[in-house]
Structure 1
Amino acid sequence: MTKFYHFNFNVLDLDRSLAFYKQALNLTPVREKEGADGSFKLVYLGDEAGSDFTLELTWLRDRTTPYDLGECEFHLAFRADDYDAMYEKHKSMGCICFENPAMGIYFISDPDGYWIEIVPEAK
């Protein structure tokens, strides 16, 4: 048997990313790991619901250029229990990058250009 554990995004500016995920999705650090030589730092973010699944943000000290995300044909998805309020919050933050009203979903983009899908709670 296997179980989802975490998903990774590599980030260029860890502090900026931590602030974004806190503001946009209320994700907060649940554990961290740092290289003994300071060459990397991993920060695992958890949600308010206490899910076992986490988002791992990887920061590499020697990385100075943005990551090439290709055509962004991958994404992470979150289900929102108050979809309309979340939409308004993200709209005010200016981070909505794509909307699909016909499907009832939208996407936000994080500081490194990763797309995150926001889906309404199933009714």
Structure 2
Amino acid sequence: MNFRFCHNNFNVLDLEKSIAFYEKALGLKEVKRKTADDGSFILVYLSDGETYHTLELTWLRDWDRPYNLGDNEFHLALEVEDFDKAYELHKEMGCICFENKEMGIYFINDPDNYWIEILPANMK
């Protein structure tokens, strides 16, 4: 058996705000959407356009409070070719929430406070 990554999921309060954030901050684009027949949920899949892995954003109609992310010790990670340009964009957006200059990485947080690690492409 061969298992392959498919997607990660983040539940979000404001779907359109989250989609706009991920497009501006990370260049992710919507590639698929599923809306429940009764309107109780919407799933939106975002892609980097290069890999098969997607980020699934889930909006629940009846959810009315921020998600409890606990200690927020989990995160999504993306690499970028132009690390300095990405850093400047994220600084301008005001979404950098943690920097580890010694490791050469930083984290941004999305509108629901999920953390996304940004690392230079040559760190592998």
What TM-score, normalized to structure 1?
Answer: 0.97
SS where residue 79 of structure 1 aligns? strand
| Aligned equivalent of 1:75 | 75
The C-alpha deviation readout for 1:66-100, integer Å capped at 9, x for no partner, is: 00000110000000110000000000000000000
What is the correspondence of 1:1-123 to structure 2 with a 5 Å cutoff? 1-48=2-49, 50-122=50-122
Structure 2 residue identity aligned to 1:122: N
The C-alpha deviation readout for 1:2-51, integer Å capped at 9, x for no partner, is: 00000000000001000100100010101011100000000000014x21
RMSD over aligned Cα atoms: 0.8
How many equivalent pairs are there?
122
Structure 2 residue identity aligned to 1:46: S
SS where residue 46 of structure 2 aligns? strand
Structure 1 residue identity aligned to 2:40: S
What TM-score, normalized to structure 2?
Answer: 0.97
SS where residue 122 of structure 1 aligns? helix
Gaps of 5+ in 1: none
In 1: Cα distance, 2:121 partner to 2:75 partner: 18
SS where residue 97 of structure 1 aligns? strand
